[in-house]
Every structure is written in C-alpha cells, then in structure tokens.
C-alpha cells in the first residue's frame, strides 16, 4: 500500500481549493490529538477520495485518519500556520496580484538542486516573491543553511530543506511524502538538479556518460513520476486548478555542444520528455514546460576554481587558443548577441511567465541572450 498520507493530504489540499475558501491545507504532526470536527470512516487506498470528498466542508474541516493523524483545514489552518510563523493567502488572492511576480505569491514550490547555483537563485526568487519553497538537494547541509538564511532575511518561514538524490526512486518518493506531510501538496515543481562532465566522445568513459544521463535525464523522469502523482490527486479534488512542472534544460538542449555530448544529449532528451509528459498530464491539470538558460558564467558550475567549466574546458582544449580561464570566459561572452552570461534574474522572468501563462504547455523557453534563435 502507498503511504496513505501521500494520497490523503494532496486530496485534502485540493478540496480546500475547490471549497473556494482558499485555505491551503497544512498538515502538521503537531496537530495530533486535537478532537476532530469531522470523522471519516477508515480510509483505504480505494475509498479515500470519495470518503474525504463526502466529509469535506469548506472552512471547517478537521479530518482525523485512524493510525495516521489529523489533517487541519479551514479555520484551523491559521493556527497551524502560526506554528510555522508563516502567512499564506488564497490561490484566488494570489491570482489577482497584477505584478507578474505575484503569480507565485503564497504558492508552494520545490526546487531540486536548490542549494547552490541557478537552483539557489530560483529558491531566492520564489521566496522573495512570496512562495514557500522546498530546497531539495543532495547537499542537505547547504540546503539547510540557505533555508535558515532566507528565513532570517525575509522574516518568515519561507523555505524548508529536504534531502534528495534525484537518481533514486526511493529518495524522490520519500521527498514527496515529506511534502505531503508538511504542506499537503505543491503548486510548482522545478526539476533543476543537474551535473556536467565535458569531454571528447573518443575519450569519455561510459561511467561518466551514464552519470550525467542519470542525473540530467533520468532524474527528470523520476521527479515527474512522483510529483505528477501527487499533483494529480490534488488537482482532481480542485477541478480547474493548474499546477506546473518545470524542467531546467539548457541552451545545450536546443543546439549541440562540442565535446559535451553527454550533457547536450540529456538536455535535448528532457525536452522530448517535457513534450510527452505535457501531452499526458494536461488531463491532470499539470502544465509541463522546460526552460533553456544560456551560460551562467558567474555561477559555481562555471566559476568553481577547481571543478568549474572554465577549468574543465581549458583542460579539454575546447576553446582553441585559450591559455587561461579568462580567455575561456571571454570566448563564451563574445558568442552572446546580448554580450553577457545568463543570470538567475533572467531565469526567474521565464519561470514567472511559464507559471503565469495558462495557455501553454510542452514548450522549451529559451533564455540565451539571443545565442539560440528558434525557427
């Protein structure tokens, strides 16, 4: 049997949207033991959706599930939220905010690989725009540090660290169960964790090729598998509600990359997955889109002095005539019509657009400074 919380909590969260009370479900372990306003029968995998829909009353519900705990909705939500020292508004309120950044206000998001680089930038951008963000990363210490920093900077509980290895099904499933237990579900899932190993096709080991493929390509499949299951339950209960799965592909997902085939292959591949998943998941109220950033030259992937791409590309001889890291950097800047590297602010604009746009799915949005122009 599945983890019942991963079925029940998203269903309740969705029902709370459908009730138009706009109270987002928050399940708290701390809420155990409070007497329930509504009792359901014993919930099973087969009957939970029907039973909860029958039991649900907007604005009042508190459902106790035998052996599992209590789910707060409606009036008890503020109390549960106070425990988290946070403040969320309703999806309806969020939707009326005119500013594009308002499209994520009071929504719940998750960013894999959120501890550093583009992921950190998106976590920050989402939190600053009013979202609650799970920082999901293999580097749990880094994710926790970022969550603490953001809480201190923004003065509210705006982030939560969660450990994950996106190449491991059990790990991703456990991450989504944590989401179900904590906020009941999700509005935005950003599949961002990625790795890069550059090298000639003649020299690259199968081990390195498989490593890149497992994180950058297979990781997106695994994440979408578990995120979409949860969103499907939630959105079924909240008919007409749209949620987003966003894959961070790359400029290298739109055109080939010399001596970088494993990476470009995976980044092209996730666009194929994006289109295919979008076709299937539209029936579940889930949009699936990819963002294709250009080179984030100031980020650690490029600038790390030991393992960064500038050093890797210098050593791989990828840039003809380059003798220093600075030569490699200039080479990449000069290839961009807008004459600079991509920044996280550039990526956030595309992310906000993608979430805000309710009439698009299965797209790959370029953010390349004009370096790649679509046909």
Ligand X SMILES: NC(=O)c1ccc[n+]([C@@H]2O[C@H](COP(=O)([O-])OP(=O)(O)OC[C@H]3O[C@@H](n4cnc5c(N)ncnc54)[C@H](O)[C@@H]3O)[C@@H](O)[C@H]2O)c1
| Binding-site ranges for ligand X (CB under 6 A) | 112-113, 115-119, 137-139, 164-167, 192-195, 215, 248, 250-251, 293, 295-296, 299-302
Which residue is associated with the tokens 């085939």?
261
CB 319 within 8 A of CB 278: no
- Strand pairing category for 69-72 and 62-65: antiparallel
- Least distance in Å: CB of 174 to ligand X? 13
- Least distance in Å: CB of 271 to ligand X? 12
35 vs 306 by CB, closer to ligand X:
306
Produce one character per residue of 218-248: b if its CB has 16 or more CB atoms within 10 Å, e if not. bbbebbbebbbbbbbbbbbbbeebbbbbbbb
Does residue 72 carry a catalytic annotation?
A: no
Alpha-helical runs (H) found in the chain? 4-18, 48-55, 75-84, 91-96, 117-128, 140-154, 169-183, 206-213, 219-237, 261-281, 300-303, 309-316, 325-334, 344-356
140 vs 322 by CB, closer to ligand X:
140
Q: CA 224, CA 244: separation in Å to the nearest integer? A: 11
101 vs 139 by CB, closer to ligand X:
139
Q: Which residues pair with 367 in a beta bridge?
A: 293
Q: Which residues pair with 132 in a beta bridge?
A: 108
CB nearest ligand X: which residue? 117
97 vs 204 by CB, closer to ligand X:
204
Distances (CA, A) of 267 to 208, 260, 273: 16, 11, 10
53 vs 214 by CB, closer to ligand X:
214
- Least distance in Å: CB of 204 to ligand X? 17
- Least distance in Å: CB of 119 to ligand X? 5
- Least distance in Å: CB of 249 to ligand X? 7
Catalytic residue among 134, 263, 313, 332: 263
**Catalytically active residues, by annotation:** 263
């Amino acid at each position: 049997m599945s983890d019942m919380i991963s079925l029940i909590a998203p269903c309740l969260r969705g029902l709370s949207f459908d009730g138009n009370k706009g109270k987002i479900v928050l399940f708290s372990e701390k809420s155990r033991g409070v007497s329930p306003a509504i009792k359901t029968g014993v919930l099973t995998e087969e009957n939970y959706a029907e039973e909860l829909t029958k039991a649900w009353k907007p604005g009042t519900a508190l459902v106790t599930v035998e052996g599992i705990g209590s789910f707060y909705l409606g009036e008890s939500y503020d109390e549960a939220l106070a425990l988290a020292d946070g403040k969320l508004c309703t999806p309806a309120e969020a939707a009326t905010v005119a500013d594009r950044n308002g499209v994520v206000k009071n929504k719940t998001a998750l960013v894999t690989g959120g501890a550093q680089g583009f992921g950190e930038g998106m976590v920050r951008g989402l939190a600053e725009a009013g979202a609650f963000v799970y920082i999901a990363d293999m580097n749990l210490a880094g994710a926790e540090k970022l969550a603490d920093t953001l809480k201190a900077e923004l003065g509210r509980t705006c982030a939560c660290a969660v450990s994950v290895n996106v190449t491991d099904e059990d790990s991703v499933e456990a991450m989504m169960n944590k989401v179900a237990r904590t906020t009941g579900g999700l509005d935005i899932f950003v599949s961002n964790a990625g790795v890069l190993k550059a090298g000639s096709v003649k020299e690259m080991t199968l081990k390195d090729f498989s490593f890149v493929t497992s994180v950058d390509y297979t990781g997106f499949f695994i994440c979408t598998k578990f995120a979409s299951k949860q969103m499907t339950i939630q959105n079924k209960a909240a008919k007409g509600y749209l949620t987003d799965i966003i894959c961070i592909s790359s400029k290298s997902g739109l055109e080939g990359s010399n001596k970088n085939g494993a990476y470009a292959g995976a980044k092209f591949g996730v666009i194929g997955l994006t289109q295919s998943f979008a076709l299937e998941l539209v029936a579940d109220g889930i949009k699936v889109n990819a963002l294709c950033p250009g080179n984030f030259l100031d980020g650690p992937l490029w600038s790390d002095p030991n393992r960064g791409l500038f050093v890797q590309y210098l050593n791989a001889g990828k840039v003809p005539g380059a003798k220093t890291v600075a030569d490699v950097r200039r080479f990449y800047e000069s290839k961009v019509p807008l004459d600079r590297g991509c920044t996280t602010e550039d990526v956030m604009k595309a992310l906000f657009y993608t979430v805000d746009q309710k009439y698009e799915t299965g797209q790959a949005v370029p953010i390349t400074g004009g370096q790649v122009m679509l046909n």
